Amino acid sequence: MLTTASSISLRPFCRGQRGQIVALLALLLAVLGGMTAVAVDLGSFAADRRDLQNAADAIALAASQDLPNSSTAQAAATQWAINNDIDLADMTVTIIPQSLPNEPNPKVRVVLQRDHSFTFARLIGITSATVRASAAAIKTSP
Residue 83, H or E segment: helix 70-83
pLDDT digits (tens, 9 = 90+) for 93-138: 999 998 888 888 999 999 999 999 998 888 778 899 999 999 999 9
Whether a cis peptide bond, with omega within 30° of 0, leads into 68 is: yes
Predicted confidence at residue 102, as pLDDT, reads: 85
Q: Where are the beta strands (DSSP E) in the chain?
A: 91-96, 107-117, 128-138
* Confidence (pTM): 0.75
